[in-house]
Structures are given as structure tokens and as C-alpha cells.
Structure 1
Amino acid sequence: MAVFLTPLSVAGTAIALPAIARDLGSDQLGLQWAVNGFNFAFAVFTIAAGVFADRFGYRLTFVIGLVVVLASSTVSGFAPTLTVLDAGRFLGGIGSAAIIAGGSAAMSHAYPSGPARARTFALFGTTVGIGLALGPSIMGGLVAGVGWRGVYAVLGLAALVVLAVSPALPRAHPQREPHQTAMDFALLRNRRFLAFCLVPLAPAVGYVSILTYLPVATAAMFGMTAADAGTFMLPMTIPVLVGPMLAAHLVRRVRWIRPETIIYASLAALIIGDLGMLLLSPGVALAWLIMPLALVGFGYGFPMGLIDGEAISSVPVRSSGTAVGVLNFLRTGSAAIAVGGYGMVMAALIGYSLPSATAARVAAGGAGHADVYAAAFRTTLIAMALVVAVLGLIIVWLHRTADAGFYEAE
């Protein structure tokens, strides 16, 4: 449940922005930080949380994260201004970094190898995928039912429930040596580890940014409500639910399929799917988008359950917490940059064609200039596909030039 809260918050907050704007004002910078503040805090503090986990314990780190998330939900739910809300969201990113770092490192310690490890991390990836996939739908329903403030009450209650049962979690004692530094930057010299760490950057660009802003795009081009957008996005989100377990099954059962095979297939799916999204424009039947949406969804979901386990298995056990920190720093930091960059590029392209006041409204999903929004959307999609392609080439090169053996400590 605790792992589920993080992607749920990342994917679903944008749905609540119109309701937040009605209550706290429509300052664009403040609203953007309600979305991006969480991501940036998660990215910045996830390495620190990993180092803390390696030094002081995985369960302690996990519990501290829950306490911080509970405090964040309280601040956010009672926020009287956008500034206070943004501060609460930033605090939530810090707590979520501790939850993910402590939880992932504990799993790596408890399952150092074998089929159990593969199943555990596949389940971890599926949980993250469910949170991302169902985030817009769940948050949209909660906003409609209990309001945006009630959303944070629900998130806080979930954190409180997990905190109440946290004493039942097994203790895992980190293995650190006296000469080991707090941050093992030598991990990044391991090309195998680095290659797996770079994999999440591609779907951050090709999937997460679209997932976050597609409801805005459909509102601007088709006048869709949040609920209608959630339904439209199902072909994109369902593959995220089944992809991690399916990929883990294929790797275990099909001899010629390796984790790298899954990753290369997912990168190709992202590129083709992003280019297929060019069909999204006024006057085009939405049924044509089913296949591109599904490809993008599989491009994100297929490798999710493999990346963490493969990356962490490439480093010494004593550095597993730090490895989780580096991996999640790149994963969430890239998502924050991708989502923020997407928003800025779209705003700039729309602003080039429309007066500033009108451009701000259209960029936020306002109706009246669907063709302008569609043109900006197409240009941004092409750029995203190119970035994913370049990242794919780098990942393939790192895999092919990596040493056959795993990382050695000395």
C-alpha cells in the first residue's frame, strides 16, 4: 500500500488542478509546483534516503517516510494558499523517497537471488504500475466524491494504516564496511548498473509526461471531462497493469528472452507509440488512438518489474540502499524534468501563436483553439520520440560494452 501511494500521487495530482485553482487561485507557477514539487523533492532526496537506509536500517527509513507522508497529507489537506500546498507536496516527495528507498532495499536484502527475487520485484513493479495507471481515475473519482482536500485526507489515512502495521515488517540489517563512503559513486562506473538505471528515463519522456498531460490535451482538443479522459486513457493504462508480470514470466519461461530483450522491445514500443499519437487531433476518430496508446503503455509497463531487481543485483549487497537511491533519483528526477519540460515546451509553442492570456488558458486545457494546441502537441511528440530513440541507443551501447560479470566491490 505504501509503495502504491507514490505513483498514485504522481499520476493523479494533475486531475485535481482545476478544483485546486478554483479554491486557491490560478497562479500558473504555483499550480505547476503542486505537480512538480513532489517529483523534484522525491528526486533530490531519494539518494539521501538510500544512504540513510544503508547506514541506519531499511525499516527505520521506511517508517520515517510514512510519518513524513502523513505530515505532508495534513499540511496539503488544510493548505490555505498555493504556497502552503506546494510546501506540503514537497514534503510528501521527501517522505515518499524514504518509503521507496527503505522498501526496495529491504526487498533486495530479503531476496538476494533466485525466482523469489524476480517475483518480488515483478510485484513491486506491478504495484507501481497500478498506481500510475489508475492514478488519474482514482484521483478523479476522489475529487468528485470528497473534494481535493479530501484526497489528501484519504492519502494520509492510508499512510496511517501502513504505519500501524509497520512493526510487523522484518528487520534488515545493512552491511557496511568501515572504509565505505556514504555515497558510492563507483557504482556509476558499472556499465550494467548504469544501463539499467537509464532505462526509466525513456518512459519518463515517452509515457509519464503524456500520462500527466493527456487529460489537458483531450480537454483542449475535444472538450473532454476528467472522467471521460480517464476512460479514453484505459488502452494506455491497462498494459501497465499486466506488463511487469508478463515480462517476468517470459524471462523465466522463454530461454532466449533476457531482461535486455524486454527492454529493447519496450523502447521500440515507446517510439512507435509516441509517433502514433500524432493522430490525436480534432476531426480524427479517437478509435485510431487505441493502438498507439497501448504501445506506449506496454513500453512503460513491460520492463517495470525487471529494472529494479537487475540494477540492484549488479552491485554489492551492502550498497543496495544507495543503488536504490541512484536508480530512483534517475527515475523520478527524469519524470520531474520530463513533465516540467513538456509543460514549458507546450506553453512556449502555444504562446508563439496566441496572445499571452489566451495562450495560458489554452495550455491549461481551455477550449477555443484546438488546432493551435494540436499543432504544439504534434511538435512536442516528435521531439519526445527523438529523445527516446537517443536514450535507447545509449542503453544498447552500455549493455553491449558492459563486462560479462557483475560489479566487483574492489
Structure 2
Amino acid sequence: MSFELLAEEGGARRGRLSTAHGPIDTPAFMPVGTQATVKALIPDEVAGLGAQVLLGNTYHLALRPGADRIARLGGLHRFMGWNGAILTDSGGFQVFSLDHLVRVSDDGATFRSHLDGSEQRFTPESVMAMQRELGSDIAMAFDQPVAWPATPAAARAAMEQTHRWAVRCLDDERAPGQLRFGIVQGGFDQELRRESAHMLGALPFDGFGIGGLSLGEPKALTFSLLSAQTAILPRDRPRYLMGVGTPADLIEAIVRGVDMFDCVLPTRIARNGSILTRGGRINLRNHRFIEDPAPPDEGCDCYTCQRFTRAYLRHLFMAGEILGHRLASIHNLRLLVRLVGQVRDAIGGGRFDDLVTSLREQWVQAPLP
């Protein structure tokens, strides 16, 4: 594994992570392909937006169509027709969020499938085995997150379980060329967050996910907890803030030393008729756009903004046309990939502070600690 740190400015870092399916220039935003697809888009379109890496989800792919079936069909890259890198989440978040009756022991977690109610069991070893079958470039360790507002006692119990499972994930067989990331937890307590970063940071993972944040807690707390962990995690390995992807959050996390991100936001809001713009999020179903001849986002270089108007996209959404979902998704993903790319290019080039000041004025609603 090679993570090359190319430049630093303040807490921000520009680097390159080498994987079996090509390099990932960091900071990087990863479009989410939970079910082996970025919703409404084909792989070539996603690559054309500038994405180098996608996220797949072990929980969903294990339940349908099955990790073993994907392996027999040549692995996840061939199955979904994606030539770039793939990171697979371990499914821990889904196990603990989709089944409130989940039963946890030191061995693993027993839960019921959200598809058919069948009983399933995930262990650290089974989760790593499924990710070997999928053939992802980056496999995440099995973890136990907690929801806001978890008590310190509940957060400690889940954190310690996560630590024990992390060791077992490392002890399990490694697929050739597959990188393994641990996931730091700690709930919403500063000291637990620091403890988790110290403990997992001492283990020989190839990188680290920062999990269990942006789950309803105040934003100021999110970034305070994030700063506590990035200050401790090893400098020579990538940090991945899981499930975070608003423009404001990306900017603030990069400033605090985060290298990778994923979020369903851009495609989820696109399906509901909303797009991200430099003036904020707008809902194109609103009547005020019925004769608006402007591009969805002035100054955007995406296919949608170069070819179509707000009035046309509104028409598509009001008519229930799938093309509306596609065009809005193309724009939202391109905006985030381009935003992160602009910040990445500025790190170490003498323009970073000015760019961040400008982007904060545009995207961040209130000052953060």
C-alpha cells in the first residue's frame, strides 16, 4: 500500500492513495453505489464526472444478490462495469440502524434482513470474507456505531466492541492487493474519541474511517469530535469521514485533515427534485422555476448545466420523467467532485486560505470551532 502525502497546509492534506485499480487523489469524494450502482447513472458517466473511487455496501450486496454470487460472476468491478477503485463499507451502520432488535455479542451481531425478515449473522471474519469475495480495493472493518444521543456508557461499550472486532478483522485473511481500514468510534464524547483514535491508530491498518458522526448531533460538536481524532490518527495513512457530504461539511472536514468522503446526499436529493447550487440548495419543483431560462447552476461545467435550463428540469420532475433524476444527479455529483478537486489543487499552492475563506462565505452558514 502506498499513501503519498504530497502537500499540507494548516491541517489540510493533499495526497495520493495507490490501489489495485488505480490511484485516488485526495481529498476525494466517493459517489455511493450501495447496490452496485450509482443511482440513475452508468459507470462511464460517473467516471466522466471526475470520480476515481466508488463506495459499495457489504450489507446490501451480501443480502442481494449475495457476495458469493458476485464472486462467481467475476467480482464487483466486473459485475457493475466499473474500472476504478471501490471501497466497501462493512455494513455495521446498516446492521445497527435498520434492525432495532439487533443482538450483539463478542462474536458478532445477529439481525433480521430488511428484505425478508430472515435471521442473519455478521461477524468480523464473515464481513471480511464477504469483502474478499466482492473484490473491493478497500475493505472496512466491522464496527458498532451508536446513535445520537448515546450515553458515554453506551458509547464506551460499543467502542470497545469495535476495537475487539478491529483486531479480529486484521487477524483474518487478507485478499491480495486489498487495503483494510479500521473505523474509529467513541460516540459523542471527546475522551472516548481520543481513546479510540489512539487505540486503532496503533494498529497496522492501511487507513482509518471516522464513523458515527453527523447522526443528528450539533454541527459544532461534529467538528470538535472530528478534530480530536484527526489530531491523533497517524499522519502517514488516509482518514475517511463516513457518510458526510454537504459542501459545507466537506470544506470544514478537509480543513481538519480528512482525506476521503462518501454521502448519498447528491443522488438522494436529486431524486426529489433538488439540486445544489452556489446560491444554496433549490427545489426545482417550485413554481418560480416554471419559465426560468437560467442553467441549473450558473458557472457549473457539468453536462446538465451546459445543455439545459431550470425550466426544463422542472418540467421533467413535474412530468415524472426519469431524465430529471439523471440530470440532477449528474449536476449534484459533479458539483461535489469539482468542489473537492478545487480545494485539493489549492493545498500547498499558496491559494488555500483564500479559497477556503471564499468557499466558507458561499457554503458555511455559521462559524464553527
The answer to whether the superposition gives a TM-score over 0.5 is no
Instruction: Give the TM bin, normalised by the shorter chain.
Output: under 0.3
Q: Which has the higher contact order (CA 8 A, sep 6+)?
A: 1
Q: Greater strand percent: which structure?
A: 2
Q: Greater helix percent: which structure?
A: 1
